[in-house]
Amino acid sequence: MQAHLVQIDSVWEDRSANLARAERLVRGSDPKPGDLVALPEMFDSGFSVNTEITADRAGETRQWVQRVARETGCWLQAGTTVPAASGGCFNAALIAAPGGEIVTEYHKTHLFPTEAVALTPGAGAKVVELGEGSGRSLAPLICYDLRFPELFGDGLALGANMFCVSACWPKVRLHHWRALLIARAIENQAFVLGVSRTGHEPTVETAGGSIVVGPRGDVLGERGAEEGVLSVELPWDDVALWRRVFPAWKARRVSPGSYRPVS
pLDDT of 174 above 60: yes
Q: Which residues contact 50 (CB under 8 A, 6 or more apart)?
A: 13, 118
Assess whether 52 carries a catalytic annotation.
no
* The one catalytic residue among 74, 108, 126, 168: 108
Q: What is the pLDDT of residue 16?
A: 98
DSSP state of 170: B
Q: What is the pLDDT of residue 87?
A: 87
* The one catalytic residue among 74, 89, 126, 143: 143
Q: What is the pLDDT of residue 250?
A: 83
Assess whether 250 carries a catalytic annotation.
no
Task: Tell me the domains of the chain and their CATH numbers.
Answer: 2-251 (3.60.110.10)
Q: What is the pLDDT of residue 259?
A: 56
Phi and psi at 143, nearest 5°, equal 45, -100
Residue-wise pLDDT for 101-142, tens only, equals 999 999 999 999 999 999 999 999 999 999 999 999 999 999
Q: State the average pLDDT over residues 149-174.
A: 96
Q: What is the pLDDT of residue 203?
A: 87
Residue-wise pLDDT for 215-250, tens only, equals 999 999 999 999 999 999 999 999 999 999 999 988
* The one catalytic residue among 41, 74, 126, 171: 41
Q: Is 14 exposed, middle or buried (0-12, 13-18, 19+ CB in 10 A)?
A: middle
**Residues of the chain above pLDDT 70, percent:** 96
pLDDT of 262 above 60: no
Mean pLDDT of the chain: 95
Q: State the average pLDDT over residues 204-210.
A: 97
Residue-wise pLDDT for 81-105, tens only, equals 999 988 899 999 999 999 999 999 9
Q: Which residues contact 9 (CB under 8 A, 6 or more apart)?
A: 21, 197, 198, 199, 227
Return the H-helix or E-strand segment holding 102: strand 102-107
Assess whether 164 carries a catalytic annotation.
no
